[in-house]
Every structure is written in C-alpha cells, then in structure tokens.
Structure 1
Amino acid sequence: MLTTSFLFWLAVILAAVTAVDEQTVTHLRGVDTAAVVGTVAPAAEAPVVEEQTATSQSPTSASTCQLTHGQAKRLLLNCQSDRIRFVGIGDWGEAKETSGVRAVRDGLLRDAPNADFILSVGDNFYDNGVKSVNDPQWQKTWVERFGIGSKLNVPWISILGNHDHKGSTQAQVDYAKGSQPGSKYWVMPDRMFSIDTTANGHQMRVIATDTEKLGERGDNSDAKILQLNSILQSSKVKAYFGGHEHDMQVLQSGNLDYFMFGGGGRSIQTGKTPPGTKAKTLFYALRYGYAIFDLDVAQRQLSVTYKMFNLNGSRAEERTFTRQY
C-alpha cells in the first residue's frame, strides 16, 4: 500500500494544552506548521480502533456552539455541550463540476447542516487561488455549489493551501470581513489564528495556520519536516488533521495519529513519501470524501468517520476510527 507525505501543507493537531506553551508555539511559527488543539491532560495511551460501519444517519440536533471574534487573530468557540461535531474537508476547490465534486457536495449537504462548524484544510480554490474578494470563484466554487447561506449555514473555519498561495492570500482573509455573498460564514481571521474553545467548562485551544513551507511539493526541506515532527512528538500531540494529498488516509507515527482527508473533489492522485519521514499506514483509500469528527472533550474520546465515494461518484463504504486520549 502506497504511503504519502508524512506531513502536509495544512492540518489541525489535537494536543494536551499543558504541553503546548508559548515557546513551542514560537517554534511552530518558525516552521510554518498547521494548528494545535489543546484539551485537558490526556489519558493513558490506547490504540486506534477501526470499525467498518453501515451508512449512518445525518445528525438531527442543532449546534450548541457559538463562534465569535475575540482579539486580533483569535476566535472564541463557546459550546454548551462537552461534545463537539465538525466536518473536515480538504482540497475541495475544483472549479469543474466533476462526479467527485458533486458526490462530496451532496454528502456535505446531508451531513454538515447541523455540525458545529466545517474545517476546511486548504486548497480552497484551484489552480491559483483567488485574485480578490470579488473573484468569481467565490460565488461559483463555494457559495453556489454548497448553497452557502441557504442550504448550508454553518461556519467554514478555513486554512490556506499551497494552491491558495498562488493567488491573493490576503483576499481570503479579507473575504471574512466583507459583505460579499456568504462572507459571514467564511472564517479566516488571519493566515495564523487561534480558536479558544470552551465545551461545557472544558478548555481547548486551536492554533491554526498553513504549512506553506512544508510538505513534499515545492521548495521544501526534509529537515524542516523532521523538525516539526520532533516538536509534535515532544509536545505530546495526539492527532493531526489535514489534507493536501488527494485521497483518504489514516497514518500513525509513534503515539501520533494522522487523519488525512484530501479527497474533497480535486482529481484523485497519490503522493510521495519524503526520505526519513515515513509513518505507518493504518488506512488508505484512493477515493473522494470528507471526515466527520465527534469529539467528547470530557471523556477525551475522538471518533472519526470517513464518508467516501468512488471515482465515478457512487457511494463507497464508510470507515470509523475511535481514539481514547
């Protein structure tokens, strides 16, 4: 089974908040890493449990979370429940209406309306990002395709991808501050930002940015990739969420889990493993799809369900992975 890049351009990382201090964050900035999520101190180590599931029901309960802007580069997510549900999607910004794009769109419209938020891990617009807040791709590729503001009314917490860097990254930041169609649902305070979360009294912090200088494409350094991996391991990071490769994967390196979901609609393709950065492949599928994350902060349990589609757009099997931290 082919493995792909050990680290990707974009990610969100689940970690123990007590282990992620300001010095670590400074190092993370220095290597253009992704995001860090902090929770209460982790429980004893447990292996990833994989189970194949039947087609699941769409969520029926509305979100209990409220997302607001705090200080510069800071979001506040306040949830009445200690359970948070979000949908992760990556590499979805394909302009063409392909079978994969349509399948992911239809699935997202079934599963995402009652999620607390959508996590977009980059490559939001192909091939060269957007030129401005008035670029027609905003309307065609995002607002109209996903019914933003009509069929889908949840926040899209978004991170930049390498293709987004080929256009105006500032335009993606500015869109969230403007009055264009759907702008109130587009959440990107800056290229790097934090999300301070309270879930029924339990604290969690997210530090989100793109890893534009990391990965196996472009002008990248294996040394920097290894440096980032060392930081993640020493900071007791538990899980890393990302995209970039156009497929669906679950990888593991030591006690660090990698949930990768880059099958958002761009043409499916495999990647290349940089020297010295291999991780164990627990699951790999050359399919379109997205991931549903159910996080119980109080119980320190994460359940990740991969919703997947075949190359012709037909529905494929689902896979659920659970982790006790």
Structure 2
Amino acid sequence: MLALLWLSLLVPAVSRVGGDGDALTFLALGDWGGLPEPPFVTPRQAATAAAMGRAAAALGGDFVLALGDNFYFSGVRDEWDPRFQDTFESVFVSPGLRGVPWYVMAGNHDHAGNVTAQLRYSHRSPRWHFPHPYYSLRLHLPGSNASARLLVLDSVLLCGRGDDFGRGPAGPRDAAAAAAQLRWLRAQLEAAAAERFVLVAGHYPLWSVGKHGPTPCLLRLLRPLLRRHRVSAYLCGHDHNLQYLEEGGVGYVLSGAGNFMEDSQPHAGSVPPGALRFFYGSAASPGGFAHVRLEPAAATVTFLEATGRVLHRVTLPPRHP
C-alpha cells in the first residue's frame, strides 16, 4: 500500500501555451475516459479534446486538471496498458495541448482497475502527473506576489466506490486511510490561510442536481471544512454534464462532460434553494469542459462547449483582496 504521506508540488506560471500571460490558467475536465473497445474513444471525447486545444491556445492553459474516470469502464490493468495510448496520448494531441502537463485524480471507474498503475504511469509520460492519491499544488499568480492552492483529493478513498446505477458510495474500504486523508486536508487548509484562492478538487460532487446527486459523505466531511476555511471553489465530475452552484460562499464547479452527456435533473430538489446557477447536459452536445483563470483580483470560471461556444461564466472574488 502507498505510504500515507502528503505531497506539495510547485506549479510556476511559466511555459505558457497561450493567453496574455497575466494570469495562471487551467482546463478542468472530468469523465473523459473513452471506451474499453475499439476505437477506445468516443466522438464526444475527440471533439472535446480538440476544443480544449483551441481554448488553451486562445485563453491560456498552464495545465489540465483531470477530474477522474480517466478510463472507462474498469480503469487500466498496469502501467503498460494500451489504454494510456489509445484513450489519452493519441487523443489529446492538439497543438494547444502540446507540452501541457496533466494533473490527475482517480474516479470510481479508475478504482475498478489498478489506480497504482496510473500513479506509475507518471514515470512513463512527461505530461501525466499523478504523484499520489491526494496532493497539493501551489500556483503562483503572474505579476504579483500572490499565490493560490489547489488540493487534489481521492474522493473514492474518502467515501467508497459508487457506480452508475444509482448506488452511491457506502463508506471507505480502508477507514484508516480515509481518516489520514481527511487529517491531511485539514492541515493543508490551515496552512493555506494566506493564499489568495484555495481550490479543492475531487471526483464526486458535493452538490449536484444530476443523476448521482449530492454525495452524503462529502456533505458530512467536506462541506463544513470548505465553509470554515472560505474555500473559493470545489471542482468535480461524476455527473455527466456541466453545472455551477453556489452555497455558503463556496462555488461548486462540476465538469463531467468529457465523454458522455446526461440532461436529467432528478436531484433538483436535493440542493439548497437558489444554489443552482447553471446547468447544461444536452444529449446533442459534442461535450464540454471548464476553463479557470486565476488573477490576483479575481478567479474566472468559464464553461465551454466543444463547439467553442461560451455557455456560462462566473467570477469569484479573492479570499484576501
């Protein structure tokens, strides 16, 4: 078993691939993991990959945050699994994504396979960065002394493995490992008190009106921490659409439209009144993702369809003006 250490990685605002150079930018993409049989990629994934390259070139893209479910439907077997080539390396090939690092987390479908193999693949691919099941990224904001913190979680280790048939996570397989991750998160949030922005990311949604709905485990464990520490936003996937919600001063960015789209809102009554600000899941859509721009004065989240159409944009204030 992996040692339960925490990692802190520095992401400098250099080696930009696009944009005007006065912000740190990244693309957030969830549930993008193709198919387990030829051609190992869906038309929606291919269209989204191409659009991400165009967005990175036009709007900036210092890195990609991969929000889990990287390989449908049962993850990978080992670090030599051809799915790494067929579903990742040969798909995200647009010039705008060339040389852009990916920071990766595991989703429930990844946990159906070998997550350790995805960690080990970090040693085989120069752009696949998955150093530990959970880790911290410090993000320098160009043109200032300000910085932000991105805390990447493994929500499956924390809550257990759910499925696509309405059964949510029923509890962690390893309670001690889940408790260790939660202690790590508390310590990281305390240490990030002076950061201009703090972002937390996990595969499972905390709030969602979609098929899977809110995750009770995260409502119990994470919601009080996010509010207490004035976290700027929580980013996730799992539901196959795009959503933005606000509650308790925290923004909730759901970007799970990288491979499938689901338009239903069976949990519309399960989120706080007025929390849902944006939802898009049209079955006719070629997919979509979120683009995040961090400047000292504001964080801007833009939801983009794979056509290039801007679907929604929201601006979040800094924690410390």
Check whether TM > 0.5: yes
Correspondence for 2:121: 175
Query: Cα RMSD over matched residues?
Result: 2.8
The equivalent of 2:258 in structure 1 is 264
User: In structure 2, what is the Cα distance between the partners aligned to 1:162 and 1:266?
Assistant: 15
1:76 aligns with 2:76: no
By how many angstroms is 1:150 displaced?
A: 9.6
Q: Deviations over 1:2-32 (max 9, x none)?
A: xxxxxxxxxxxxxxxxxxxxxxxxxxx9xxx
The answer to whether the 8 A contact 1:92-1:124 is kept is yes
Cα distance change, pair 270–187 in 1 and its aligned pair in 2 (3 A): farther
Pair 1:185 & 2:127 matched:
yes
Q: How has the CA–CA distance of structure 1 residues 308 and 196 changed in structure 2, closer, same or farther, with 3 Å as cutoff?
A: same
1:113-145: per-residue Cα shift (whole Å, max 9, x none)?
551111111111100111111111100000011
Equivalent position of 1:283 in the other structure: 278
Of residues 138, 143, 151, the one that matches 2:89 is: 143
DSSP-derived class of the 2:26 partner: strand
Letter in 2 for 1:83: A
Counterpart code for 1:104: T
Q: Where does residue 196 of structure 1 map in the other structure?
A: 138
Quote the Cα distance in structure 2 between the aligned partners of 1:184 and 1:147: 14
Q: Which residue of 2 aligns with 1:118?
A: 64
SS of 1:112's partner is helix
Q: Report the counterpart of residue 322 of structure 1 in structure 2.
A: 315
Maintained 8 Å contact 1:72/1:189: no
Structure 2 letter corresponding to 1:112: A
> Residues 140, 308 of structure 1: CA spacing in aligned structure 2 closer, same or farther, 3 A cutoff?
same
Counterpart in the other structure of 1:109:
53
Q: Report % sequence identity.
A: 27
Question: Match of 1:73, as an amino acid?
Answer: L
Match of residue 299, structure 2, among 296, 302, 316: 302
- Matched position secondary structure for 2:316: strand
Separation (CA, whole Å) in 2 of partners of 1:315 and 1:202: 31
The Cα offsets for residues 263-308 of structure 1, whole Å up to 9 and x where unpaired, read as 0113435465499764611011114201111110x21x01111111
Q: Note the residue ranges of structure 2 that are not aligned, 5 or more in a row.
A: 15-20, 172-214
Greater RCO, 1 or 2 (C-alpha within 8 Å, sep 6+) = 1
The two structures have a TM-score, normalised by structure 1, of: 0.68
CA contact (8 A) 1:264 1:289 kept: yes
More strand per residue? 1
| Cα contact 2:24–2:140 (8 A) shared by 1 | no
Report whether the alignment pairs 1:235 with 2:229.
Answer: yes
Aligned residues: 246
| Residue of structure 2 in register with 1:209 after alignment | 153
String of CA shifts for 1:179-231, please: whole Å, max 9, x gaps: xxxx0100111101111233342232322122114487232572552232112
Work out the CA distance in 2 between the residues paired with 1:184 and 1:255: 37
Q: Distance in 1 between matches of 2:130 and 2:217?
A: 29
Residue in 1 that maps onto 2:31: 91
Aligned to 2:291: 292
Contact 1:245 1:271 in 2 (8 A): no
Moved more, 144-153 or 131-140: 144-153
SS state of the match for residue 146, structure 1? coil
- If each structure's helix is expressed as a fraction of its own residues, which one has the higher value? 2
* TM-score (norm: length of structure 2): 0.68
In 1, Cα distance between equivalents of 2:315 and 2:31: 24
Does residue 128 of the first structure (1) align with residue 62 of the second (2)?
no
State the Cα distance separating 1:73 from its structure 2 match. 2.4
Q: Confirm whether residue 158 of structure 1 aligns to residue 104 of structure 2.
A: yes
Give the secondary structure class of the aligned counterpart of 2:83.
helix
Q: Which of these residues, 161, 164, 169, is aligned with residue 218 of structure 1? A: 169
Structure 1: unaligned runs, 5 residues or longer: 1-28, 30-70
- What do residues 49-68 of structure 1 show as CA deviations (whole Å, max 9, x unaligned)? xxxxxxxxxxxxxxxxxxxx
Q: Is the 8 A contact 1:94 1:266 kept in 2?
A: no
Query: 2:155 is paired with a residue of what secondary structure?
Result: coil
